[in-house]
Amino acid sequence: MTEVNAPVPRLTEAMPKGVSLWQDAWVRLRKNKLAMAGLGILLLVIVLCILAPWIMPYGYEEQDLALGATPPSSAHWLGTDTFGRDMLTRVVYGGRVSLAVGIIATAVALLVGVTYGACAGYLGGRVDAVMMRLVDIFYALPFMIFIILLMVVFGRNLLLLFLAIGAVEWLTMARIVRGQVQSVRQQEYVEAAISLGLSPATIIFKHVIPNVLGPIIVYATLTIPQVMLLEAFLSFLGLGIQPPMSSWGLLISYGVETMEEYPWLLIYPGLALALTLFALNFFGDGLRDALDPKASKD
Amino acid sequence: MWRFIGLRTLQAIPVIFIVISVTFFLVRAAPGGPFDDEKAVSPQVRAALEAQYRLDLPMHEQYLTYLSDLLQGDLGPSFNYPGRSVNELIFQGLPITAELGFYALLVAVGIGVLAGVIASLRPNTAQDYVPMSLAMVGICMPSFLLGPMLVLIFGIWLDWLPVSGWGNSQGDKILPSITLGAMYAAYIARLSRSGMLEVMSQDYLRTARAKGLPERVVVVKHALRAGLLPVVSYLGPAFAGLLSGSFVVETIFQIPGLGRFYVQAAFNRDYTMILGTTTFLATLIVVFNLLSDFVAAWLNPRLRYQFSNKQ
């Protein structure tokens, strides 16, 4: 991940009829066809996942043992698995868990990373040096191995999965936010807030963070696919989501077992995961270009 | 340079120490002992077993003995494979994983740099878009999806390559190496493209061209060295990724390497094995990060000045 050198957000409130940063970004984003396609796919996936219990013709655990595994047909668009369960339903329900893990773990990372980074950047000096050195040390830790360890030691529970993944992803967030806050700290409106006698906490959360929201949103969008990959990786190894719950990673790992006879059980969950990751990455890239035109592409 | 190396190494020591300590206490804090499953174990046998693995000592003594054993390079006995030490198991799996990692890195750097440089030579043309779109596909195709798909296509449908194993039949190393390296090839392609583009617009390259050097010399001798810096810095993290990626790839292709040992140890709750492997892998990763920092600093003097001024 590269350092994001965003320009200091423009003085938007001062220009009553001007174009706000957000409107400006939206105009630029709309011109980016790949990003809009990504957004479209994402919205579709999200709506499907949310509405799944009402619109899916089959139940998630509804078995038809007599039917068994059948290739895609008009009754079962993505075929059925070895228990005769409808694959489309299972893929959509798996998506609920995958997306939920992606969003919640990113939210954890966001909460910790933004608070930590903003405090370090705002307080500066020795506090900042110590806080960032700590981040450096954490950065060097091989977290993938630790997450596996955590899942082994404390059992495979969903809450822990959120915490563990969130604990890895907050570091980059903290670094980005700190850099941004350092540049905003020098601004007159922060000095004005200080001279009004506001507490540091109020200044950080009310005046500083809202002004560095752009890079935070961009990075959060790009964190979600990473988190989803991590969850799928763990679930594939059998260390993540446990049955009867399901996620795309788990469906893929089931699909691998029977891929010789029933390749569609591997291909469709894989396609769903890859397509969603694709959409998220393109949307995130587009969002970065739109909100932060100066940032480099990589 | 020496100052840089010294300071950086000093920073790495606490990291390794934290890794070892955290792992040790995490594993000890785990609910349930390693011998809980064996119902028939009598109290005497159990006590003997616990004494053998030093589980009867107070926690801090266990920790200190573990540390002192570790300093002598002894990772202790395995719970699950009686009579065998963790060292033995690690060194049985390590050469295989190292070989797999080496080939994967070859795939990643070879294909990645080539694709990135080719793309950067004509930005915003088909020559740029095609490799970069492929790179995006590579990033979105996790190894646990790519691997089975490759097996399905090349191993089962086309029947060109063996579907599993390592060194048992001809060509069985190809699919695992590609599976493990693909995602890193994609990242490296993106990194080297943007690195090259940045360098290409600089004055010294214009000078090189103005001197009348052929384009090949300009690109290979002048641009590559600076343009590939981001790739070198990325090799450290990529190595860590390759190691954890080997967990999945070795599971898919049934390769008896370190990664599969680790995953199996995790399932068997073989605590000493987990502890030993974690310590070993973590140290390896920290050392490789360090090495890639050194190489990056050697290639880019600005990095080390920045470092010595910051201190």
Which is nearest to B27 in space by CA: B265, B285, B283?
B265
Cβ-Cβ contacts under 8 Å, A256 against chain B? 144, 148, 252
Judge whether B236 and B289 are in contact, CB under 8 Å. Answer: yes
Do the Cβ atoms of A153 and B140 come within 8 Å? no
Please provide residue B262's backbone torsions phi and psi, each rounded to the nearest 5 degrees: -65, -45
Do the Cβ atoms of A239 and B289 come within 8 Å? no
For residue A17, pLDDT beyond 80: no
**What proportions of chain B, in percent to the nearest 5, are helix, strand and coil?**
75, 0, 25
More confident position, A24 or A293: A24
User: Which of B43-70 are b and which e, b meaning 16 or more Cβ less than 10 Å from the residue's Cβ?
Assistant: eeeeeebeeebebeeeeeebbeebeeeb
Which residue of chain B is at minimal alpha-carbon distance from A236? B144
Q: What is the pLDDT of residue B243?
A: 80
- Give one DSSP letter per residue of A32-56, joined into a string: -HHHHHHHHHHHHHHHHHHHHHHH-
**Measured between CA atoms, how close is B282 to chain A, in angstroms?**
6
Whether A182 is in a domain gets the answer yes
Q: Is A239 an 8 Å CB contact of chain B?
A: yes
Cβ-Cβ contacts under 8 Å, B278 against chain A? 145-146, 149
Q: In total, how many domains does chain A have?
A: 1
Nearest residue, CB atoms, B27 vs list A153, A236, A281: A153
And the tokens for B195?
């690195």
Which residue of chain A is at minimal alpha-carbon distance from B136? A278
And the tokens for A48?
């499907």
For residue A284, pLDDT beyond 80: yes
Query: Residues, chain A, total?
Result: 298
Which is nearest to B234 in space by CA: B148, B295, B283?
B295
Q: What is the pLDDT of residue B149?
A: 86
Which residue of chain B is at minimal alpha-carbon distance from A156? B267
And the tokens for B124?
């915003």
Q: What is the pLDDT of residue B262?
A: 81
How many CB atoms sit inside 10 A of residue B23's CB? 21
CA pair distance B257, B274, nearest whole angstrom: 14
Q: Outline where A186-212 has alpha helix (H).
A: 188-195, 200-202
Whether A192 is in a domain gets the answer yes
For residue A3, pLDDT beyond 60: no
CA pair distance B218, B185, nearest whole angstrom: 24
Lookup result for tokens 């798909």: B149
**Measured between CA atoms, how close is B211 to chain A, in angstroms?**
30
Q: Which of A51-60, A96-105, A203-212, B186-195 has the lowest mean pLDDT?
A: A51-60
Whether A240 is in a domain gets the answer yes
Judge whether B201 and B191 are in contact, CB under 8 Å. Answer: no
Do the Cβ atoms of A137 and B11 come within 8 Å? yes
Give Cα A131 to chain centroid, integer Å.
25
Which is nearest to B146 in space by CA: B106, B183, B199?
B183
Average pLDDT, whole number, for chain A?
79
Residue B56 has, within 13 A of its CA and on its CB side, a CA count of: 10
Beta strands in B199-259 (DSSP E): none
Q: What is the pLDDT of residue A140?
A: 67
CA pair distance A241, A143, nearest whole angstrom: 18
Q: Find the domain containing A85 and state its range.
A: 32-291
pLDDT classification of A147: cutoffs 50, 70, 90: confident
Judge whether A132 and A178 are in contact, CB under 8 Å. Answer: yes
Cβ-Cβ contacts under 8 Å, A152 against chain B? 30, 266-267, 269, 274
CA pair distance A55, A160, nearest whole angstrom: 31
Whether A15 is in a domain gets the answer no
| pLDDT tens figures, A95-116 | 888 888 888 888 888 888 988 9
pTM exceeding 0.80: no
Do the Cβ atoms of B244 and A297 come within 8 Å? no
CA pair distance A121, A101, nearest whole angstrom: 29
Q: Which amino acid is at A223?
A: T
Q: What does each C-alpha distance from A1 to A16, A176, A280, B161, B240 come to in angstroms?
A: 36, 10, 16, 36, 16
Average pLDDT over residues A168-173: 84
CA pair distance B292, B294, nearest whole angstrom: 5
Cβ-Cβ contacts under 8 Å, A225 against chain B? 140
Q: What is the pLDDT of residue B245?
A: 82
Whether A9 is in a domain gets the answer no
Read off the CATH number of the domain in which A95 is found.
1.10.3720.10
Which residue of chain A is at minimal alpha-carbon distance from B263? A237
Share above pLDDT 70 across residues of chain A, in percent, rounded to a whole number: 87
How many CB atoms sit inside 10 A of residue A13's CB? 9
ipTM: 0.72
And the tokens for B294?
């050194």
Nearest residue, CB atoms, B281 vs list A145, A155, A237: A145
Judge whether B69 and B76 are in contact, CB under 8 Å. Answer: yes
- Give one DSSP letter per residue of A120-167, joined into a string: HHHH-HHHHHHHHHHHHHHHHS-HHHHHHHHHHHT-S-HHHHHHHHHH
User: Chunked in runs of 10, what are the mean pLDDT values of chain B (311 residues)?
Assistant: 78 80 78 58 70 70 80 74 77 86 91 89 82 83 86 83 76 86 88 84 84 84 81 79 83 84 77 80 80 77 58 38
Do the Cβ atoms of B140 and A260 come within 8 Å? no
Cβ-Cβ contacts under 8 Å, B282 against chain A? 141-142, 145
Q: What does each C-alpha distance from B116 to B215, B227, B233, B299 come to in angstroms?
A: 17, 10, 16, 19
**Measured between CA atoms, how close is B212 to chain A, in angstroms?**
31
Q: What is the pLDDT of residue A293?
A: 55
Do the Cβ atoms of A239 and B266 come within 8 Å? yes
Judge whether A233 and A44 are in contact, CB under 8 Å. Answer: no
Cβ-Cβ contacts under 8 Å, B252 against chain A? 256
How many CB atoms sit inside 10 A of residue A290's CB? 21
Q: Outline where B162-228 has alpha helix (H).
A: 174-200, 203-210, 215-217, 224-227
Whether A8 is in a domain gets the answer no
For residue A297, pLDDT beyond 60: no
Which of B11, B15, B137, B145 has the most A C-beta neighbours within 10 Å, making it the best mutation to test the interface with A? B145
How many CB atoms sit inside 10 A of residue B25's CB? 12
**Exposed/middle/buried for residue A182 (C-beta within 10 Å: 0-12, 13-18, 19+):** middle
Across the A:B interface, residue pairs with CB atoms under 8 Å apart total 120
Whether A241 is in a domain gets the answer yes
Which residue of chain B is at minimal alpha-carbon distance from A235? B144
Whether A4 is in a domain gets the answer no
More confident position, A47 or A14: A47
For residue A2, pLDDT beyond 60: no
CA pair distance B57, A98, nearest whole angstrom: 43
Do the Cβ atoms of B142 and A233 come within 8 Å? yes
